[in-house]
Copies of this chain bind each other. A is one copy, B any other.
Amino acid sequence: MTGTKTISEKPRATDGESASATTAPTQFIKTRLETYAYRRFGRGAALPLVCLQHFTGTLDNWDPAVADPLARGREVILFESAGLGRSTGAVPTSIPGMAEHFIAFAEAIGLTQVDVLGFSLGGMIAQQVALEHPALVRRMLLVGTAPEGGEDIMHIEKPELRKILEDRTLTGYQVLVKLFFTPSEASQAAGRAFTARLSARTEDREPLSGPNVAQAQIAAFRAWERVDGERFAKLRRITQPCLVVNGVRDTMIPVRNSYFLGEHLPNAMLLTYPDAGHGSLFQYHEAFVRQASLFLDSEAL
């Protein structure tokens, strides 16, 4: 984990370089902890961008409209943590436990410094990795996420979320459209376009997450909400430049958690989108890609 070598030390799958989020083959790497599924695509001089996924999501939940344009200029690596998709092992019940899997993956694949896109649960893991292994993380995109000690994180028992999750008329991706997008017609239409893009990948898909995944990840959220000692004190030690992003109508991890991040991370910009929920980066994929690229390509904030 030391040194400044920024490209993979192991040979890369050449077909991955011309592939996309839709076509990149799933690869597997055996590590000291587990065997992880991952996908890599894109190329360029910039540091690789590792993407850490949301609650119950798998490699198949990354929007090509976000991942593919970000892969122009850099390699994008989608990581499947333990117990998800075809990765082996059990889903940890804490964020630090999940961070260990990311570390093991980065070591095994030969990544010594990366940029990270952490979405929702993935943003919490990104913060933990930045704390424990600051040299590994250069810059972070923290989207729809919360700091340790944040509040109202993924309380799926809330009436507004339970109503969606228990609606038997919603099938497949329709649940995701309701959960990640606001009730406005514009946002719902963006949600349908998003799930159509996800559906473009028809082969080599990951198995869906079962209730055991949700249960373990919810336990991790509850632990992450706990305040031990001075609230948000750890954020002062995360000195990497960060771009914090959220929709102002996020019902799964409300935007005030992003305000906490913007106010307490010493080197973070906050960006919010209107009429957007948890999936703001997918709804505003063009704006998000523009802003994220500008941030990743900048020397300063």
Given the complex, which residues of B lie within 8 Å of A301, measured CB to CB? Answer: 273-274, 284, 287
Within 8 A of B (CB), among A35-93: none
Q: Which of B272, B274, B290, B298 lies in contact with A298, CB distance below 8 A?
A: B290
Bound CA–CA A290/B268 (angstroms): 16
B266-A274 in contact (CB<8A)? yes
Given the complex, which residues of B lie within 8 Å of A262, measured CB to CB? Answer: 248, 272, 274
A274-B269 in contact (CB<8A)? yes
Given the complex, which residues of B lie within 8 Å of A275, measured CB to CB? Answer: 266
Interface string of A8-21 (1 = CB under 8 A from B): 00000000000000
Interface string of A277-301 (1 = CB under 8 A from B): 0000000101100110010001011
A176 at the interface (CB under 8 A from B): no
A267 at the interface (CB under 8 A from B): yes
Given the complex, which residues of B lie within 8 Å of A291, measured CB to CB? Answer: 291, 294
Query: Which residue of chain B has the shortest Cβ distance to A299 in the bound complex?
Result: B286
Query: Which residue of chain B has the shortest Cβ distance to A262 in the bound complex?
Result: B272
Given the complex, which residues of B lie within 8 Å of A274, measured CB to CB? Answer: 262, 265-269, 301
Within 8 A of B (CB), among A252-266: 255, 259, 262-263, 265-266
From residue A264, how far is it (CB to closest CB) to chain B in Å? 9
| Copies of this chain | 2
Q: Given A269-B274, A274-B267, is A290 in contact with B294 using a C-beta cutoff of 8 Å?
A: yes
From residue A267, how far is it (CB to closest CB) to chain B in Å? 6
A300-B286 in contact (CB<8A)? yes
A270-B271 in contact (CB<8A)? yes
Query: Which residue of chain B has the shortest Cβ distance to A272 in the bound complex?
Result: B270
Q: Which of B248, B263, B284, B287 lies in contact with A248, CB distance below 8 A?
A: B263
Bound CA–CA A263/B301 (angstroms): 24
Q: Which of B263, B265, B273, B300 lies in contact with A269, CB distance below 8 A?
A: B273
Given the complex, which residues of B lie within 8 Å of A266, measured CB to CB? Answer: 274-275
Bound CA–CA A259/B267 (angstroms): 19
Given the complex, which residues of B lie within 8 Å of A255, measured CB to CB? Answer: 263
From residue A246, how far is it (CB to closest CB) to chain B in Å? 9
From residue A139, how far is it (CB to closest CB) to chain B in Å? 13
Bound CA–CA A272/B261 (angstroms): 11
Bound CA–CA A269/B269 (angstroms): 12
3 nearest A-B pairs in the assembled complex, by CB-CB distance: A270-B272, A248-B263, A262-B272
A sample of 20 more A-B contacts (CB under 8 A), given A266-B275, A269-B271, A290-B294, is A248-B263, A248-B270, A255-B263, A262-B272, A262-B274, A265-B274, A268-B274, A269-B272, A269-B274, A269-B287, A270-B271, A270-B272, A271-B271, A284-B301, A286-B300, A287-B298, A287-B300, A287-B301, A290-B298, A291-B291
A-B residue pairs in contact (CB < 8 Å), sample of 22: A248-B262, A248-B263, A248-B270, A255-B263, A259-B259, A265-B274, A266-B274, A266-B275, A268-B274, A269-B271, A269-B272, A269-B274, A269-B287, A270-B270, A270-B271, A270-B272, A273-B301, A284-B301, A286-B300, A287-B300, A290-B294, A294-B294
